[in-house]
Amino acid sequence: MTAYRGSAKVDRILVVDDTPDNLFLTQAILEEEGYHIETFENGTDALAEIEADPPDLILLDVMMPGIDGFEVTRRIRQNEKLPFIPILLITAHDQPSVAQGLDTGADDFIRKPVNFDELLARVRSLLKLKHSVDERDLIARQREDFVSRLTHDLRTPMVAADRMLALISQGAFGELPEGMNEAISIMIRSNKNLLEMVNMLLEVYRYEAGRKTLSMIPVALCDLLAEVLEGLSPIAIDSGLALESNLDEFMDKQIVVMGDRLELHRVFTNLIGNAVKFTESGSVKVHLSAKPDRAVIAIKDTGTGIPPEQLDMLFQPFWSGKHKRSGSGLGLPLAQQIVTAHLGSIQIESEVGKGSTFTIELPIEQPAT
């Protein structure tokens, strides 16, 4: 139930105590301050109401027959469907273990006999905490909705523009005047880059919001890496780079991980693609190996390297360094989200001027015994 005074929402406080006199007194004092109070004489009824209609604050007697205040606190904190609700424990004068209540997830405690000025001060401070947590959550939700709606809405006109430009360049609307082909190709390329960036942004936020569903299947890493290397080899050849691997060793004894093949393809394309992109001369080597329970994929380049102070920023969205080939800065954050969702890890070792090694570890699918 939401109570209002004028247009302002009134804070709703649940008071749980098995002594009716205590309940009556606390209710009278808090109502005097303008709060909306609901009272309960046992933990079970209080929990049912908290789950049905979460209040803004709970005042909870510790010693109660049936489930005590500690247990009520534990059940509230374990219930992931509930928003954050501050809990103020009311403990007996000689109750030794308030620490237990705080460890279970209560936010503060007050001893009986309750000093009412102290009670009101604690109520005000916990409600302040509640309001700031609610506000932070609201801003996070609005930001997430905004980004996912914006990126989603941007995709539609860009896909349409891509189709139109393809038709124009194919001469569907008549022959193009001189110089126009070049201009259309530039527009197609820019539009594709923009679409790619919007798609990646959408994916990053899907992972962040926990809205990404993975289709997990057994994935043979050697085949997957061979496919990625084949796709990138024309770019490596153009740049005069040697693109090497030890994949031949694994053709007969595949290393298999459980994963979403498309997503893992995206990770390796990004990391090996970066290695090629940020290497002026020399080589990019992909080395696959297996620990007892993990597959290890090391991607080693002889490129520009990354200064130590920049290593922490690599996985932040939109951080892209000053290299002339730097792009949107979304590839590595997305790669990390994907690898983490596969319960794996990415490590980086790098030396400026000498090159970098990105090492990915993924849990190996153990054969059924």
Give the one residue of 225, 267, 286, 306 binding ligand ADP; rule: CB under 6 A.
306
Yes or no: say if 192 and 319 are a contact pair by the CB < 8 Å rule: no
Q: Which residues contact 40 (CB under 8 A, 6 or more apart)?
A: 14, 15, 16, 46, 49
Indicate the residue type of 27. Answer: Q
Q: Which residues contact 38 (CB under 8 A, 6 or more apart)?
A: 12, 13, 14, 15, 49, 55
Yes or no: say if 16 and 59 are a contact pair by the CB < 8 Å rule: yes
- Residue 300 CB, shortest distance to ligand ADP, in Å, is 9
Closer Cβ to ligand ADP, 109 or 205, answer by number: 205
Rounded to whole angstroms, the Cα distance separating 347 from 270 reads: 15
Give the one residue of 329, 336, 339, 346 binding ligand ADP; rule: CB under 6 A.
329
- Residue 318 CB, shortest distance to ligand ADP, in Å, is 9
- Kindly state whether residue 327 participates in binding ligand ADP, applying the rule CB under 6 A: yes
Residues composing the chain? 369
- Kindly state whether residue 46 participates in binding ligand ADP, applying the rule CB under 6 A: no
> What Å distances lie between residue 47 and 15, 222, 262, CA to CA?
11, 53, 44
Binding mask 224-263 for ligand ADP (x = CB under 6 A): ----------------------------------------
- Residue 33 CB, shortest distance to ligand ADP, in Å, is 52
Give the one residue of 56, 107, 263, 301 binding ligand ADP; rule: CB under 6 A.
301
- Kindly state whether residue 356 participates in binding ligand ADP, applying the rule CB under 6 A: yes
Give the one residue of 132, 323, 343, 366 binding ligand ADP; rule: CB under 6 A.
323
Burial class (CB in 10 A: 0-12, 13-18, 19+), 152: exposed
List 270's β-bridge partners, or say none: none
- Kindly state whether residue 303 participates in binding ligand ADP, applying the rule CB under 6 A: yes
Closer Cβ to ligand ADP, 126 or 306, answer by number: 306
- Kindly state whether residue 336 participates in binding ligand ADP, applying the rule CB under 6 A: no
Yes or no: say if 118 and 89 are a contact pair by the CB < 8 Å rule: no
Q: Which residues contact 264 (CB under 8 A, 6 or more apart)?
A: 219, 224, 257, 338, 342, 362
- Kindly state whether residue 26 participates in binding ligand ADP, applying the rule CB under 6 A: no
Give the one residue of 275, 286, 297, 362 binding ligand ADP; rule: CB under 6 A.
275
Only one of the segments 169-177, 222-230, 242-250, 298-306 lies at the binding site for ligand ADP (rule: CB under 6 A); that segment is: 298-306
Give the one residue of 104, 274, 336, 337 binding ligand ADP; rule: CB under 6 A.
274
Q: Check residue 167 and give left, alpha or beta (phi > 0: left; psi -120 to 50: alpha).
A: alpha
- Kindly state whether residue 268 participates in binding ligand ADP, applying the rule CB under 6 A: no
Q: What are phi and psi of 154, to 5 degrees?
A: -70, -30
Closer Cβ to ligand ADP, 191 or 356, answer by number: 356
Rounded to whole angstroms, the Cα distance separating 191 from 171 reads: 19
- Kindly state whether residue 192 participates in binding ligand ADP, applying the rule CB under 6 A: no
Chain residues in the site for ligand ADP (CB under 6 A): 270, 274-275, 278, 301, 303-304, 306, 314, 320-321, 323, 326-332, 356
